[in-house]
Structure 1
Amino acid sequence: MTQQPYATGTPTPAPHRPGGATAPAVLPGPVGVPVLQEATAGLQPPFAVVDLGALRANAAQMTRRAGGKPIRLASKSLRCRALIGDTLRLPGFAGILAFTLPEALWLAEEHRDVLVGYPSADTDALARLGADERLAARVTVMVDSIEHLDLVTAALGPTGATVRVCLDLDASLRLAGGRLHLGMRRSPLHTPGQARDLALAVTARPRLRLVGGMSYEGQIAGVGDDGPGPRAGRAAVRLMQRLSTRELRERRAAAVRAVRSVAPLEFVNGGGTGSLESTSAERAVTELGAGSGLYAPALFDHYRGFRPHPAAHFVLPVVRRPGPRHATVLGGGWIASGAPGTDRLPVPVWPPGLRYVAQEGAGEVQTPLTGDGVAGLRAGDRVWFRHAKAGELCERVNELHLVDGDRIVDVVPTYRGEGRAFL
């Protein structure tokens, strides 16, 4: 991989490429599926492709939207060490937001600043962290309760390295006296007083050092405000997001003040790809957490404020023609996490005019498709899909084929390709 592969429009030294090719002086932008299809014509599907031009454009858009605050890269959104490393070499990106502690320990062998975005109950990994001064200086664990503090403290034991700790503040919107909960069911810490109390409990434990705070407003960052369906539904989402943005700005600032009265904080993390502008405007927030916008999966098609370029695709072969109105591809049931629904299905994007058969959807070993795009398909042809979410695609493939302009410039392993399955 090159040292700065995503520097849009910037001259760069010509790196070594497969087959002796060299990179152009000015890197190309997004190219679209027809060009990607031509570039990958020699591959056998199923395979996954990343359009580096689209990825570059998305990274530049994210940093502009972040308003000058650094973006901590969400590793679960990429799940590829090569692309994580290259993204962190871009201006505007700093640090990793990991999703498990074993993953964080693995990444910290190479990277110096890894925050685990979720509490860990992996006592073996906690013990390893506490026994290694180098890893303990690079990895920060997440806590949100006394119960978890007890688990962490017991796993660390009485002696060893001091472990860095971050508090997770609940960012959900609670209305009607708490009877209406809008947002993720994450941390029990909701009020500034609760955050301060847990901060005091952390500082009372000699093996722990409080260094940061975090809150993820999933009801803003992770919910598109321009989705399909009735206009009234979109209006309701926008109203909820305005109310939540206003409420969280005040509560988060108060919580940060309360925690800082106990201990100095190195960072306060917030946001996500869908809320970079609003979260970066909060003075209490020092950095943002995001990553999905780099691949721009299908769920990001439904935001008014930004339009990322689809960068990650997967390709499946046509293996059957059950009749003139249907074509069947191999596999296809690469369903995204979340509440079950059609928005969790991969989206067939090429050829245009393809859709699922309602009775079957996306299947484990085969997926029948229908629509106008079926007419020209024959056995052996390819159908291009976009996953509904970002990094989950990488749990299905061992490698990503990186296309820049009209050619494959590299093939890099995913976490799965490196034999790592963290969740």
Structure 2
Amino acid sequence: MRSGETASGGLRERYGSATAHLPAPLAVVDLDAFDANLDSLAGRAAGLPIRLASKSLRCRYLLERALGSAAVRGVLCYSLAEALWLSRAGVSEDLVVGYPTADEHALATLAADQAARERVTLMVDSAAHLDAVEDALRSAPEGPAVRVCLELDVSWRPLPGLHIGARRSPVFTARQAAELARTVVRRGAFRLTGLMGYEAQIAGVGDAAGNPVRAGAIRLMQRMSARELAARRAAAVAAVSEICPLEFVNGGGTGSIETTGADTSVTEVAAGSGLLGPALFDGYSRFRPRPAALFALPVVRKPTQEIATLFAGGYLASGTADASRLPSPYLPRGLRLTPLEGAGEVQTPVTGPAARHLAVGDRVWLRHAKAGELAERFETYHLVAGQRLERSVPTYRGEGATFG
């Protein structure tokens, strides 16, 4: 942030002047903040390559801008259809699909696309995923072996029946990873290239939100989980490497770059949300990205002096259905959602000291709780650099590309 620039003053004036000629609602990406966040991610990665999590950007221009950094290598896609689209567009030649797919059409397209088979790596955690690929290959021409990556479940299970983390892969132990690796190698249609694990209980859980006792408990859980995982992941990598050499071992996310990078079995870290700095990251003590993605809503009425009602705004984030998934009023400072209405389909009331100074036609800037999902609401990101609107670029949605 520039010297003397305050969020309630300079930032609001800067975004307002750059976009005054555009109708609201609208979404902006602050390129100064985006680039600063990329530098911060690179510093936290301490030399490990960063694989971009595309679900957190969902905008080709932003992907390509980040891929231009020497710190960034390849893309972690969220669907096979998306990976094929990015391959055809020439965005990257290193596309790992971060989740298994059951998309028969996309699998058939991959099977028939020789170039994509060289560029795209599928995620698998069971023989059933291999069966689906083999079904698609039966009617396809001969070509390169299909690249696959094994997903290791890296949740924390300190006690029998207690699962802390995301419900992902059934492959939990080194032995299970080795068994699946042998299955892949026995099937000649595949080339085993990598192993991945996403520690959601570390990367996706803020340790500074709520009361101090809860925050302390979260930090303790994350330290213990990271210690257990480092040993188990290293054992899995070693077991799989005895069967087939690995090109990469991917782990983590924006919220766990330091702990994931400290695991010497990991060769690259995943990150994406940290480039845009969504509101959920306000609950982390280890880092604080600059808010880079915002959206503006116009004030359309003043039911009282203390309340300003905005048009639209019900852009809720996925995950647990609680207040943390609501958008957050950001500029001007001193606004909050009302507890009974929250963010609505066609109207969003805000209240607080700053509401008294808002008039019909004024704009309020808000932040989405998560990063990439804002691009599912807007067809265009308006890119602000310094005091000017540098350009406007389409999101995935703006290119007619929605992948679920």
Would you call these one fold, judging by a TM-score over 0.5?
yes
For 1:45, what is the secondary structure of its paired residue? coil
Bigger shift: 381-390 or 122-131?
122-131
Which structure 2 segments of 5+ residues have no match? 1-6
For 1:174, what is the secondary structure of its paired residue? coil
Q: Is the Cα–Cα contact under 8 Å of residues 326 and 368 in structure 2 kept in the other structure? A: yes
Q: Is the Cα–Cα contact under 8 Å of residues 252 and 260 in structure 2 kept in the other structure? A: yes
Does structure 1 residue 183 correspond to structure 2 residue 162?
no
| Aligned with 1:101 (options 67, 72, 80) | 80
Aligned to 2:220: 239
Q: Is the Cα–Cα contact under 8 Å of residues 380 and 395 in structure 2 kept in the other structure? A: yes
For 2:225, what is the secondary structure of its paired residue? helix
Query: 2:112 & 2:245 partners in 1: Cα distance?
Result: 25
| Aligned with 1:366 (options 347, 362, 366) | 347
Does structure 1 residue 263 correspond to structure 2 residue 244?
yes
| Aligned with 1:198 (options 162, 176, 180) | 180
For 1:165, what is the secondary structure of its paired residue? strand
Aligned to 2:4: none
Aligned to 1:311: 292
In structure 2, give the amino acid aligned to 1:209: R
Deviation, 1:353, is 1.1
Aligned to 1:60: 39
For 2:134, what is the secondary structure of its paired residue? helix
Query: 2:127 & 2:213 partners in 1: Cα distance?
Result: 42
Does structure 1 residue 69 correspond to structure 2 residue 29?
no
Q: How does 1:34-183 map to 2 (within 5 A)?
A: 34-109=13-88, 110=90, 111-157=92-138, 160-161=142-143, 162-177=145-160, 179-183=161-165
Query: 2:113 & 2:131 partners in 1: Cα distance?
Result: 20
Deviation, 1:33, is 3.4
Query: 1:112 & 1:301 partners in 2: Cα distance?
Result: 34
Q: Is the Cα–Cα contact under 8 Å of residues 146 and 189 in structure 2 kept in the other structure? A: yes
Aligned to 1:351: 332
Deviation, 1:373, is 1.2
Which structure 1 segments of 5+ residues have no match? 1-29
Aligned to 1:292: 273
Aligned to 1:218: 200
In structure 1, give the amino acid aligned to 2:29: V
Query: 2:259 & 2:226 partners in 1: Cα distance?
Result: 7
Deviation, 1:80, is 0.4
In structure 1, give the amino acid aligned to 2:128: E
Deviation, 1:230, is 1.6
Aligned to 1:3: none
For 2:357, what is the secondary structure of its paired residue? coil
In structure 2, give the amino acid aligned to 1:255: A
Aligned to 1:15: none
Query: 1:380 & 1:295 partners in 2: Cα distance?
Result: 27
Q: Is the Cα–Cα contact under 8 Å of residues 328 and 337 in structure 2 kept in the other structure? A: no
In structure 2, give the amino acid aligned to 1:69: L
Does structure 1 residue 417 correspond to structure 2 residue 389?
no
C-alpha RMSD of matched pairs (Å): 1.5
Query: 2:280 & 2:16 partners in 1: Cα distance?
Result: 23
Q: How does 1:5-24 map to 2 (within 5 A)?
A: none
Query: 1:340 & 1:371 partners in 2: Cα distance?
Result: 24
For 1:55, what is the secondary structure of its paired residue? helix
Query: 1:149 & 1:382 partners in 2: Cα distance?
Result: 51
For 1:180, what is the secondary structure of its paired residue? coil
Summarize deviations over 1:282-309 as a string: whole Å, max 9, x none.
Answer: 1110011111000000001111111111
Q: What TM-score do the two structures reach when normalised by structure 2?
A: 0.95
In structure 2, give the amino acid aligned to 1:291: G
Deviation, 1:355, is 1.0
Identity among equivalent positions (%) equals 55
Deviation, 1:210, is 0.4
Deviation, 1:196, is 0.4
Query: 1:380 & 1:267 partners in 2: Cα distance?
Result: 52
Query: 2:17 & 2:206 partners in 1: Cα distance?
Result: 32
Query: 1:352 & 1:387 partners in 2: Cα distance?
Result: 16
Query: 2:211 & 2:289 partners in 1: Cα distance?
Result: 24
Q: How does 1:365-384 map to 2 (within 5 A)?
A: 365-384=346-365
In structure 2, give the amino acid aligned to 1:176: L
Query: 1:376 & 1:167 partners in 2: Cα distance?
Result: 55
Deviation, 1:152, is 2.0
Aligned to 1:26: none
| Aligned with 1:341 (options 319, 322, 341) | 322
Runs of 4+ in 1 over 4 A off after TM superposition: none
Q: Is the Cα–Cα contact under 8 Å of residues 316 and 326 in structure 2 kept in the other structure? A: yes
Q: Is the Cα–Cα contact under 8 Å of residues 121 and 149 in structure 2 kept in the other structure? A: yes
In structure 1, give the amino acid aligned to 2:151: D
Summarize deviations over 1:166-220 as a string: whole Å, max 9, x none.
Answer: 000001000212x110000011100000000000111111111100010000110
Query: 2:19 & 2:97 partners in 1: Cα distance?
Result: 36
Query: 1:247 & 1:354 partners in 2: Cα distance?
Result: 42
Does structure 1 residue 405 correspond to structure 2 residue 386?
yes
Q: Number of paired residues?
A: 394
Query: 1:393 & 1:288 partners in 2: Cα distance?
Result: 23
Deviation, 1:155, is 2.2
In structure 2, give the amino acid aligned to 1:180: L
Summarize deviations over 1:84-130 as a string: whole Å, max 9, x none.
Answer: 01110111001000000000000012020000000000011111111
Bigger shift: 324-333 or 58-67?
324-333
Q: Is the Cα–Cα contact under 8 Å of residues 12 and 332 in structure 2 kept in the other structure? A: no
| Aligned with 1:249 (options 207, 230, 240) | 230
